Amino acid sequence: MMPSPDRAVRTRGSVYLMVLSAGIALTTLGIAGLALVRSQRRAELLRHDAEACRLSTQSALDLAAWQLATDPTGANTWRKDTSATICDTWLGNAQISVLAEDPLDADLSDSPDDPVLLTASARRGAARQMVRARFDTSLANLPCLNAAVWTGGAISFTAATVYADAVVGSNGGVAASTSTIGAGVAGASITGSTYLGQTRVITQTLDMPDATSIDVWSRKGVVIPYASIPGGAITNRVLSAASNPFGATSPSGVYVINCAGNALTIDRSRINATLVIINARSDSKIGASCLIQAPAGQPALLVDGSLMLELRASDLAESTAGNLNPPGTPYLGSSDSDTSDTYPAVIEGLVFVTGNLYVTSNADATVEGVVLVGGSLRVDTRLNVRHRAPETPIEGFRQVVGFALDPNSVERIVD
C-alpha cells in the first residue's frame, strides 16, 4: 500500500528539519569551538604577557638598584623630593617604572641615611605586575675619620710637640716652627720642621662634615639654658643621661648649650654625654681638668664656632671637684659616694669644631678619638691623639656607600 502524498510530504519535512537542526547544531558547535580557541589564545597571551611583566618587574628592580648603587647619596637627583621615579622606560614590549619612597617618614629628602622602598611596575598588553622591596643603606665613616686630626683650613705648629698614631692632615697647608711632629702629615703644602713621620702633599681634599652634622644632634638634645650656668662656667659638675645639674636630663645623653655670643668654660668636670655648643664666643674653652666621654655611637663634643683647648696631663681629682661617679653615672662600671677617686683628663670620642681650634700654650692635651676642625688648627704646646675611629658610623659623620636588599621585604602587589 502506497503512503499518501500528505504523509510523504510530512516525512520529507521532518527529515529536512532534522538535517537543518543537525546543521545548526554543528555550526553552533563550530562557532563555540572557534570562540573557545580564541578565548584560549587570549588566556595564553595574557599568561605570556603576565610572565613577561613578572620578569620585567625584576629587571626594573635590578635597574633601579644599580642606579642607587651608582648614586648612593642622591642629594641632587633622586633624594631631592619626598618621593621619586627612578626609571620610566620601555623594556622590550613592556613599559616599566620604579617609584622610590622612604618607608620611615615618607620623605626621601630629609636624610641620606634612610632606607629606600622601591615599587616596580610593568605593563604589557592587558597584563600588569607590581613588586615592592626595601633596600637598606650600607653606611661607613667619612674618609676624614681615618685620620687622627683633619682640618678644612691650615694647621700651624709653633713650639709644639704632637704625637698621633694616625695621620694629621689638612685640606690647606701645614706649617711647623721649632716643633716636633711625631705622626704622618698630609696637606696641600707642608713646610717647616721637624716631621718625624712620612709627609704627603695631597692633590685632592677630603670632604668635611658641614653644619647639618651638628644640627642632627642639636635636634636630639635637651637644652641647657646659658643663663642657668653660673658665670658661664661649668665647674665641678657631672653631666650624663642620668645627671643634669642645670635642669631636665636627656635620656639619649645629648645636651645643647646656646651661648648667644657669650663665652663658655668647662673645667674640673666629668661629661659622659654628647655636648653640643653653639654661638659661643671664640675664647670659649675646655679647661685644664676635664673628662669628656662620648656615649656609645655618639660624638663627644660638637662646637658650632671656635674653641680653645687647655687640657693638661694632670688627673681630675674628686678631692677638688667633688664626687664624679654618682649612682647612674658609673666610671668603668663603678659608682660610689666618696670623693677619693681620680680620673684622667682626656676627651674620649669624636670632636668636631666648625670654626677654629686653638690648643693653647698651657695645654698638654690628650684626645682618644678623632679631631675634626672646619677652620684652622693652631697648636702651641703638646697634643696627643690616640686615633679611635667610631666602630659604628655616627649620624652626621657617615656616608652611604651602597644598598642591601632586605630579602624579607620582597612582595607582589595587587592593584
- 43-70 pLDDT tens trace: 677 688 989 999 999 999 999 999 999 9
pLDDT at 39: 63
Residues of the chain above pLDDT 90, percent: 83
Burial class (CB in 10 A: 0-12, 13-18, 19+), 270: buried
pLDDT at 5 over 60: no
Domain-located, residue 380: yes
Task: Give the count of beta carbons closer than 10 Å to the beta carbon of residue 6.
Answer: 8
Measured CA to CA, the distance from residue 104 to residue 246 in angstroms comes to: 34
Please compute the mean of the pLDDT values over residues 111-119 and round it to a whole number.
Answer: 94
Same domain assignment for residues 249 and 215: yes
pLDDT at 126: 87
Domain-located, residue 341: yes
SS3 track for 81-124: CCCEEEEEEEECCEEEEEEEECCCCCCHHHCCCCCEEEEEEEEE
SS3 382: strand
pLDDT at 163: 98
Please compute the mean of the pLDDT values over residues 221-243 and round it to a whole number.
Answer: 98
pLDDT at 212: 86
Domains in the chain, number: 2
**What secondary structure letter does DSSP report for 184?**
-
pLDDT at 415: 63
Q: How confident is the model at residue 210 (pLDDT cuts 50, 70, 90)?
A: confident
Please compute the mean of the pLDDT values over residues 173-190 and round it to a whole number.
Answer: 98
pLDDT at 17: 61
Same domain assignment for residues 171 and 316: yes
CA distances from 255 to 234, 302, 341 (A): 13, 10, 25
Residue 102's domain comprises 58-141+400-413
Judged by average pLDDT, the poorest of 18-22, 247-251, 378-382 is 18-22
pLDDT at 41 over 90: no
Domain-located, residue 68: yes
- The segment with the largest mean pLDDT, out of 18-32, 85-99, 342-356, is 342-356
pLDDT at 185 over 60: yes
Q: Is there a contact between 370 and 353 (Cβ–Cβ < 8 Å)?
A: no
Same domain assignment for residues 90 and 235: no
Domain-located, residue 173: yes
Please compute the mean of the pLDDT values over residues 295-310 and round it to a whole number.
Answer: 97
Measured CA to CA, the distance from residue 188 to residue 202 in angstroms comes to: 5
Q: How confident is the model at residue 107 (pLDDT cuts 50, 70, 90)?
A: very high
Domain-located, residue 2: no
Length in residues, the chain? 415
Same domain assignment for residues 147 and 293: yes
pLDDT at 12 over 90: no
pLDDT at 3 over 60: no
Same domain assignment for residues 170 and 104: no
Q: How confident is the model at residue 362 (pLDDT cuts 50, 70, 90)?
A: confident
Same domain assignment for residues 157 and 249: yes
Measured CA to CA, the distance from residue 151 to residue 195 in angstroms comes to: 18
- Beta carbons within 8 Å of 130's beta carbon, 6+ residues apart: 57, 119, 120, 121, 122, 412, 413, 414, 415
pLDDT at 394: 97
Comparing 66 with 35, which gets the higher pLDDT? Answer: 66
Same domain assignment for residues 374 and 273: yes
Please compute the mean of the pLDDT values over residues 9-19 and round it to a whole number.
Answer: 59
Judged by average pLDDT, the poorest of 9-13, 98-102, 122-126 is 9-13
Digit-coded pLDDT (tens) for 252-295: 999 999 999 999 999 999 999 999 999 999 999 999 999 999 99
Same domain assignment for residues 112 and 153: no
pLDDT at 36: 53
Q: Which helix (H) or strand (E) holds 378?
A: strand 377-379
Q: Which three cell numbers stand for residue 350?
A: 669624636
Q: pTM, whole model, 2 decimals?
A: 0.84
Domain-located, residue 9: no
Q: How confident is the model at residue 42 (pLDDT cuts 50, 70, 90)?
A: low
**What secondary structure letter does DSSP report for 408?**
G
Measured CA to CA, the distance from residue 95 to residue 128 in angstroms comes to: 9
